[in-house]
Structure 1
Amino acid sequence: MRWSEGVRLIGTAGHIDHGKSTLVHALTGIHPSHLPEEHAREMTIDLGYAYLEHPNGYKLGVVDVPGHERLVRNMVAGATGFELALWVVDARESVMPQSREHLHILDLLGVRCLVPVLTKADLASEEQIATACEEIGALLHSVRARVEPLHVVDSLSGRGIAELQRSIFALCREREDPDDDALPYLPIDRAFSLRGIGTVVTGTLMRGRLAEGDHVSISSVPGAWRIRSLNNHHAPVREIGPGHRVGVNLAGLEADAVRRGDTLVSRNYPYTGRFFNVRVELVHGTTLEWKHGLRMLFHAGATETECRVWGLVDEGDALWAQVELPREMAFFPRQRFILRGTNPRVTVGGGEVLDLSPDRPRRVTPAERSAHALRERGEPWLATYLAGGDRGVYRTTALARRWMVRESELIRQALESPELAVGPEGAREEAGSLVWRRAEGQALLTRLRDYVARQPRNEKFLPFAKLGRELGLRLPDLHAWLQRLYEQENDAAALLRADTRLERTGMVLYPGEVAFSAEERRIARRIVGRLKAEGLQPARIQDLHRQHASEPEIVERVLAKLRAAGQIVLVSPDFALHPIAEAHLRSAPALQGLDGVSAAEFGRALGLSRKYSIPFLEYLNEKDVLRRSGDRHYLR
Structure 2
Amino acid sequence: MIVGTAGHIDHGKTSLVRALTGVDTDRLKEEKNRGISIDLGFAYLPIDGAETIGFIDVPGHEKFIHTMLAGASGIDFALLVVAADDGVMPQTREHLAIVDLLGIERGIVAIAKADLVAEDRLADVEEAIRNELVGTALADAPMIPVSTVSGTGVARLRDEIVAEVRRFARRQTAGRFRLAVDRSFTIQGIGTVVTGTVLSGQVSVEDHITVSPSGLQARVRSIHAQNRPSENGRAGDRCALNLVGHGITKTAIHRGDMVSDPSLHAPTSRIDATLRVLGSEPKPIGHWFPVRLHHASADVGARIVLLAEETVVPGARTLVQLVLDRPIAAAAGDRYVIRDTSAQRTIGGGRFLDLRAPARKRRTPERLAQLQALSLTEPKQAIGALLAAPPFFADISAFARDRAIAAAEANALAQTLNLVQLPSDAATLVMSMESWERLRSDILARLGAFHVENPDLAGMGVERLRTELPLRLPVTAFRAALQALVRPGEIVLDGAWVRLAGHRVTMSLADEKLWKEIEPLLGGPKRFRPPRVRDIAALLGAPEVQVRRLMKLGGRMGKVHEVAHDHFFLRDTIAEMVAIIADIGEAADGGWFTAMQFRDRVDNGRKVAIQILDFFDHHSVTLRRADLRRLNRSRLDFFGNLSNASRGISGGDSCPVACPDFKSGRGRETVLGGFDPHSLPPLSDATGSTR
What TM-score, normalized to structure 1? 0.74
Q: Which moved more, 1:145-154 or 1:478-487?
A: 478-487
Task: Tell me how far 1:119 sits from its aligned partner.
Answer: 1.4
Decide whether the 8 Å contact of 2:53 with 2:226 is kept in 1.
Answer: no
Change in Cα spacing, 1:532 to 1:139, as seen in structure 2 (3 Å) is closer
Aligned residue among 112, 125, 135 for 1:132: 125
Change in Cα spacing, 1:41 to 1:622, as seen in structure 2 (3 Å) is farther
- Consecutive unaligned residues of structure 1, counting only runs of 5 or more, are 1-7, 416-420, 425-430, 502-507, 541-553, 584-614, 626-636
Amino acid at match of 2:441: A
Q: What secondary structure is seen at the aligned counterpart in 1 of 2:199? A: coil
Aligned residue among 297, 300, 309 for 2:304: 309
Change in Cα spacing, 1:260 to 1:519, as seen in structure 2 (3 Å) is farther
Amino acid at match of 2:563: F
Amino acid at match of 1:33: D
Please give the residue correspondences for 1:442-521 in structure 2 after superposition, counting only pairs within 5 Å. 442-446=440-444, 449=447, 469-472=467-470, 477-486=474-483, 490=487, 495-500=492-497, 513-517=560-564
Match of 2:15 in 1: 22
Decide whether the 8 Å contact of 1:275 with 1:358 is kept in 2.
Answer: yes
Decide whether the 8 Å contact of 1:187 with 1:301 is kept in 2.
Answer: yes
**Could you tell me how far apart the structure 1 residues matched to 2:132 and 2:369 are?**
37
Match of 1:440 in 2: 438
Task: Tell me how far 1:337 sits from its aligned partner.
Answer: 0.9
Paired residue total: 549
Q: What secondary structure is seen at the aligned counterpart in 1 of 2:215? A: strand
Task: Tell me how far 1:194 sits from its aligned partner.
Answer: 1.6
Q: Which moved more, 1:258-267 or 1:113-122?
A: 113-122
Task: Tell me how far 1:139 sits from its aligned partner.
Answer: 0.7
For the pair 1:238 / 2:231, whether they are aligned, the reply is yes
Aligned residue among 102, 108, 112 for 1:109: 102
Aligned residue among 536, 557, 581 for 2:590: 536
Decide whether the 8 Å contact of 1:272 with 1:330 is kept in 2.
Answer: yes
Decide whether the 8 Å contact of 2:176 with 2:201 is kept in 1.
Answer: yes
Decide whether the 8 Å contact of 2:133 with 2:139 is kept in 1.
Answer: no
Task: Tell me how far 1:441 sits from its aligned partner.
Answer: 1.6
CA RMSD of aligned residues (A): 4.5
1:275-332 Cα offsets, whole Å, 9 max, x none, are 3322222223334422222222111100011122223449999522222223433223
**Could you tell me how far apart the structure 1 residues matched to 2:289 and 2:204 are?**
42
Match of 1:592 in 2: none
**Could you tell me how far apart the structure 1 residues matched to 2:628 and 2:442 are?**
32
Decide whether the 8 Å contact of 2:206 with 2:221 is kept in 1.
Answer: yes
Decide whether the 8 Å contact of 2:292 with 2:300 is kept in 1.
Answer: yes
Please give the residue correspondences for 1:175-574 in structure 2 after superposition, counting only pairs within 5 Å. 175-252=168-245, 253-269=248-264, 272-313=267-308, 319-343=318-342, 345-358=344-357, 361-363=361-363, 365-372=367-374, 375=376, 380=381, 382=383, 384-389=385-390, 391-401=391-401, 406-408=409-411, 410-412=413-415, 414-415=417-418, 422=420, 432=428, 434-436=430-432, 437-446=435-444, 449=447, 469-472=467-470, 477-486=474-483, 490=487, 495-500=492-497, 513-517=560-564, 535-536=589-590, 538=592, 561-562=615-616, 569-570=622-623
Aligned residue among 73, 92, 106 for 1:99: 92
**Could you tell me how far apart the structure 2 residues matched to 1:459 and 1:556 are?**
28
**Could you tell me how far apart the structure 2 residues matched to 1:186 and 1:571 are?**
48
Match of 2:29 in 1: 36
**Could you tell me how far apart the structure 2 residues matched to 1:224 and 1:137 are?**
48
Decide whether the 8 Å contact of 1:392 with 1:440 is kept in 2.
Answer: no
Amino acid at match of 1:351: G
Change in Cα spacing, 1:446 to 1:264, as seen in structure 2 (3 Å) is same
Change in Cα spacing, 1:295 to 1:198, as seen in structure 2 (3 Å) is same
**Could you tell me how far apart the structure 2 residues matched to 1:411 and 1:477 are?**
19
For the pair 1:123 / 2:124, whether they are aligned, the reply is no
Decide whether the 8 Å contact of 1:511 with 1:565 is kept in 2.
Answer: no
Change in Cα spacing, 1:148 to 1:555, as seen in structure 2 (3 Å) is farther
Decide whether the 8 Å contact of 1:276 with 1:358 is kept in 2.
Answer: yes
Amino acid at match of 2:497: T
Task: Tell me how far 1:28 sits from its aligned partner.
Answer: 1.2
Task: Tell me how far 1:44 sits from its aligned partner.
Answer: 0.9
Task: Tell me how far 1:274 sits from its aligned partner.
Answer: 3.0
Match of 1:577 in 2: 630
**Could you tell me how far apart the structure 1 residues matched to 2:35 and 2:107 are?**
26
Task: Tell me how far 1:473 sits from its aligned partner.
Answer: 5.2
Task: Tell me how far 1:257 sits from its aligned partner.
Answer: 1.3
Change in Cα spacing, 1:448 to 1:492, as seen in structure 2 (3 Å) is farther
Change in Cα spacing, 1:398 to 1:22, as seen in structure 2 (3 Å) is closer
Task: Tell me how far 1:78 sits from its aligned partner.
Answer: 0.5
**Could you tell me how far apart the structure 2 residues matched to 1:532 and 1:455 are?**
40
Amino acid at match of 1:471: L
Task: Tell me how far 1:218 sits from its aligned partner.
Answer: 0.7
Q: Which moved more, 1:125-134 or 1:490-499?
A: 490-499
**Could you tell me how far apart the structure 2 residues matched to 1:496 and 1:565 are?**
18
Match of 1:61 in 2: 54
**Could you tell me how far apart the structure 2 residues matched to 1:367 and 1:350 are?**
22
Decide whether the 8 Å contact of 1:73 with 1:304 is kept in 2.
Answer: yes
**Could you tell me how far apart the structure 1 residues matched to 2:483 and 2:626 are?**
25
Decide whether the 8 Å contact of 2:277 with 2:316 is kept in 1.
Answer: no
Change in Cα spacing, 1:322 to 1:533, as seen in structure 2 (3 Å) is same
- Consecutive unaligned residues of structure 2, counting only runs of 5 or more, are 499-554, 569-573, 595-607, 637-680
Q: Which moved more, 1:111-120 or 1:181-190?
A: 111-120
What TM-score, normalized to structure 2? 0.69
Match of 1:589 in 2: none
**Could you tell me how far apart the structure 2 residues matched to 1:60 and 1:624 are?**
54
**Could you tell me how far apart the structure 2 residues matched to 1:509 and 1:270 are?**
49
Amino acid at match of 1:480: A
Larger radius of gyration: 2
**Could you tell me how far apart the structure 1 residues matched to 2:687 and 2:155 are?**
60
**Could you tell me how far apart the structure 2 residues matched to 1:512 and 1:147 are?**
79
1:316-359 Cα offsets, whole Å, 9 max, x none, are 99522222223433223421111112246311111111233346
Change in Cα spacing, 1:573 to 1:303, as seen in structure 2 (3 Å) is farther
Change in Cα spacing, 1:509 to 1:102, as seen in structure 2 (3 Å) is farther
Amino acid at match of 1:440: R
**Could you tell me how far apart the structure 2 residues matched to 1:39 and 1:191 are?**
21
Decide whether the 8 Å contact of 1:213 with 1:228 is kept in 2.
Answer: yes
Change in Cα spacing, 1:455 to 1:23, as seen in structure 2 (3 Å) is farther
Change in Cα spacing, 1:384 to 1:210, as seen in structure 2 (3 Å) is closer
Change in Cα spacing, 1:509 to 1:236, as seen in structure 2 (3 Å) is farther
Q: What secondary structure is seen at the aligned counterpart in 2 of 1:15? A: coil
